[in-house]
Structure 1
Amino acid sequence: MSNADAWEGEEKPAFKSNYQALRFIGGNLVSFFGDQIYLIAFPLMVLALTGSPLSMGIVAAIERVPVLLQPLAGVLADRLNRKRILLFCDFFRFLLLGSIGVLFLFEIITIYVLYAAAFVIGVLGQLYQTSQFASIPKLVREQDLDLVNAWNTGVFHTAVFLAPGLGGWIVTLYNPGVGMIINSFSFFIGFLVVWSLRVESERMQGEKRSFIHDVSEGFRFVIHQKPLLYTNIAMFFSVFGTTLFLTMLIVHLKAEIGFSAVSIGWLLSIGGLGAIGGALISPVLRSRVTYRTLLFGCGAVGGLSILLFSFYHTFVALALLNAVGTICASISSPCIVTLRQKLTPEYLLARVQATSRFMTWALMPLGALVAGIIGEYISTSMTIAVGGTVSIIASFIYLHPSLKNVDTEEGAL
């Protein structure tokens, strides 16, 4: 019997004693740490090469185009060994991002290389995230899913709190290329952590079926499960709004407001600090508030924080507004993830996640491109204001009746 089979035959331990899950979260902390440095370094590389908000919009759009490949990612994650997928994605990103950092340091990189790298990074990110989502229920008990997803969101925002300030100093004192190299090593550490985990999956059994059949099975399940369908519809529009905001965030703070890389880093870090608390109270709120109320409240308040962000220019105001937005995101995100995991059978997990991401993220490439166009020809403030308005309107979809009794439906399943 393999280690994976032995693990499956055992009753999973409680979360506080589940060293597999704790190691998994620790590895994510390191990866998230590197990602936050990337979010500062990569846009500044684009600005250094072109000085154009439109170029940043193009890069962001290219990085998000692989969202449209989510149905393929879902089938692969259900058909293949998920652990091997995670290892491949981590190791290849380690090599790719390290190479970009070195090329930038020696000033032998072009914007077209960044375009190509953005696409590959996007492909690997989509495949990794889908496979990781489907692997989590193999590590923990079902009753611990709310908790582990909240903790995972919490460590993400811990990275958001700690890494941007450090990343800003690195970029200012050294070079964006150095930040990219540091990010690459975070993926290598993630590779080592995944290597140590037992996350073998139940692959699809029975006769070989066509790719179209497997993809359609995921779509049919989501459409049938109305709570999943309507959260996806709400996120379809809200993600478009937040994409407008996030694409222009660094450019807005640097080019229009005039903040230094260090100030930008600290502003993002302050947002991460508040979001840590949001992630930690998410399971507490879930025990007292329905999914419907929680998702609507976070969506509306988060959208309002983005809208107001476009009107202010002081560091304190912008930091507080960013913190409010990240708190709302850190409360709602674990709820949506847990809802999908609890309502979906294990053999369909990757495809349902992929289908949901395809449905909710389909407008991300367009949103990034629109953000670049509005930022280039009107202003980055207008881009952010439009994004906030769209997010506020989208939050009302969470009030659909299918989400009213979702906790009861979840228990019945």
Structure 2
Amino acid sequence: MEFQITRKGFSKDFNLMVVGQIISILGSALLRFALSLYVLDITGRADLFAVLFAISSIPILLAPLGGAIADRFNRRNLMVLFDFVSSVIVFIFLFWLISDSSSIVFIGIVMVLLSLVSAMYTPAVMASIPVLVEEEKLEQANGIVNGIQALSGVAAPVLGGILYGMIGLKVLVVISGVLFFLSALLEMFITIPFNQREQDGHIIPTLINDLKEGFSYVLKQSFIFKCMILAALLNLLLTPLFVVGVPIILRVTMQSSDTLYGIAMGLIDFATILGALSMGYFAKKMGINNLYIWIFVTALLIVPMAISVMPIMLTIGYYPSYIVFVISTLLIAMIITVISIYVITIVQKETPNENLGKVMAIIIAVSQCMAPIGQILYGLLFEVFSSKIYVPILIIGVFMVILALATNRILRFEERNN
């Protein structure tokens, strides 16, 4: 199947996929935020929603299955199917709402189903990017897709909060369902190269064999395996810092007001988006041989973050500590976004098209599973050192230095072997 990629920009098919992503991700983010407010409204208990959110995250473990499916079937058709299924789930949920039901269990089922569809959907998208763009633009393309995901995390609370108060949950559910349906329609006009692979026997054992093949491929390909470990360790060390550490420091240690807390968290989200969208610029300056430098710079930026919460700094005044902490955090968020996208890109370049879906899904599943482990460890560290909050931050910095040295040794050795 032939396809065209323009020299000056991205192909029509990639642009259509991006627009479809914007519509689909916005619909999903709006619904998740609206459901959070709805659960709090009808129960008044945040812990119930926390449990629902934890349960709805479990389907990410099935991402490798989504990768196997993405490598076996037409990826364009899969995107259309998954968005259409999401639309159907949302409209079924709407009919249930209209009947004035308020079962938390049913809300949990809806969240799990949508999360399951998302786990199947993401590998199809990530595996499609390398065949829709030129290799030299792959980093920029991945940055755009990641930027859209980050932007949805910022826009959804703002839009969701406004719309939920103005039009209510039912209308928001309708909007979300329509967005999924529009995304499915748009994706029908995308052309993604697809070569039908021979299938021996029933589809279930075929997919199981494909999964075994995917895990075997990742384990045998030393470079890809090391990139997966790097992605997992970065997620273990730094993602919980932003999810657990930053809120605790701003609200508890610094006792920031609602306004200053909101400004800081908003700026961090903006830094993540900026890092993703500027990937095309940074890609020209990055390489396997200098990746460790980027990680080492991140470790160095953790030092001023730790200094900002030391007692001597806090006694100087609130604003100096706040400014130093926020600036160092913003730079770390931006750099780690660039590193993450670069690692994904080099894996895409090294992986044959027939294994792209499985490999991407395995890396996503492994790295994302590390974040909850890190969050638990961070919670314990910040509790033990609640009076000396700079100690766990410095511990993170030490581990980042070790990771930088290990990255330099392992990946540079891998480059020499290649």
Instruction: Give the match for residue 122 of structure 2.
Output: 129
Instruction: Give the match for residue 332 of structure 1.
Output: 339
Distance 1:247 1:287, change over 3 A: closer
Instruction: Give the match for residue 404 of structure 1.
Output: 412
Distance 1:310 1:166, change over 3 A: farther
CA distance, structure 1, for counterparts of residue 297 and residue 151 of structure 2: 20
Instruction: Give the match for residue 168 of structure 1.
Output: 161
CA distance, structure 1, for counterparts of residue 298 and residue 216 of structure 2: 26
CA distance, structure 2, for counterparts of residue 57 and residue 66 of structure 1: 16
Distance 1:200 1:329, change over 3 A: same
Contact in 1 for aligned 2:295/2:400 (Cα 8 Å): no
- Unpaired runs of 5+ in structure 1? none
Deviations 1:350-407 (CA, angstroms, capped at 9, x unpaired): 1111222232233567778x59x98xxx89x99x999978976468435332323667
Task: Tell which deviates more after alignment, 139-148 or 237-246.
Answer: 237-246
| Alignment RMSD (CA, Å) | 4.6
TM-score by length of 2: 0.74
CA distance, structure 2, for counterparts of residue 48 and residue 268 of structure 1: 24
Of 281, 284, 288 in structure 2, the residue corresponding to residue 287 of structure 1 is 284
> How much does 1:16 deviate?
1.0
Deviations 1:85-128 (CA, angstroms, capped at 9, x unpaired): 21111112123235546655775222211221221112101110
> How much does 1:233 deviate?
2.1
Instruction: Give the match for residue 178 of structure 2.
Output: 185
**Aligned amino acid, residue 275 of structure 2:** G
**Aligned amino acid, residue 229 of structure 2:** I
Percentage identity across aligned positions? 19
Distance 1:190 1:402, change over 3 A: farther
- Number of residue pairs matched? 397
> How much does 1:212 deviate?
4.0
- Unpaired runs of 5+ in structure 2? none
Deviations 1:136-156 (CA, angstroms, capped at 9, x unpaired): 222122222122112222333
Distance 1:122 1:33, change over 3 A: closer
**Aligned amino acid, residue 175 of structure 2:** I
Secondary structure of the corresponding residue to residue 198 of structure 2: coil
Contact in 2 for aligned 1:244/1:367 (Cα 8 Å): yes
CA distance, structure 2, for counterparts of residue 207 and residue 236 of structure 1: 34
Distance 1:167 1:143, change over 3 A: same
Contact in 1 for aligned 2:64/2:358 (Cα 8 Å): yes
Instruction: Give the match for residue 221 of structure 2.
Output: 225
Counting only pairs closer than 5 Å after superposition, residues 139-178 of structure 1 correspond to structure 2 as 139-178=132-171
Distance 1:299 1:110, change over 3 A: farther
**Aligned amino acid, residue 278 of structure 1:** G
Task: Tell which deviates more after alignment, 395-404 or 197-206.
Answer: 395-404
Secondary structure of the corresponding residue to residue 285 of structure 2: coil
Distance 1:267 1:118, change over 3 A: farther
CA distance, structure 1, for counterparts of residue 391 and residue 196 of structure 2: 43
Task: Tell which deviates more after alignment, 34-43 or 82-91.
Answer: 34-43
CA distance, structure 2, for counterparts of residue 328 and residue 102 of structure 1: 45
CA distance, structure 1, for counterparts of residue 257 and residue 267 of structure 2: 15
CA distance, structure 2, for counterparts of residue 95 and residue 319 of structure 1: 42
Instruction: Give the match for residue 359 of structure 1.
Output: 366
CA distance, structure 1, for counterparts of residue 265 and residue 400 of structure 2: 25
CA distance, structure 2, for counterparts of residue 160 and residue 267 of structure 1: 15
Secondary structure of the corresponding residue to residue 175 of structure 1: helix
Contact in 2 for aligned 1:245/1:306 (Cα 8 Å): no
> How much does 1:43 deviate?
2.8
Contact in 1 for aligned 2:137/2:280 (Cα 8 Å): no
Instruction: Give the match for residue 5 of structure 2.
Output: 12
Contact in 2 for aligned 1:60/1:247 (Cα 8 Å): no
CA distance, structure 1, for counterparts of residue 162 and residue 246 of structure 2: 15
Instruction: Give the match for residue 348 of structure 1.
Output: 355
Deviations 1:241-283 (CA, angstroms, capped at 9, x unpaired): 6675787799989x999998x9998776544433332123323
Of 202, 209, 223 in structure 2, the residue corresponding to residue 213 of structure 1 is 209
> How much does 1:198 deviate?
0.6
> How much does 1:18 deviate?
1.8
Of 20, 45, 58 in structure 2, the residue corresponding to residue 27 of structure 1 is 20
> How much does 1:324 deviate?
4.8
**Aligned amino acid, residue 412 of structure 2:** K
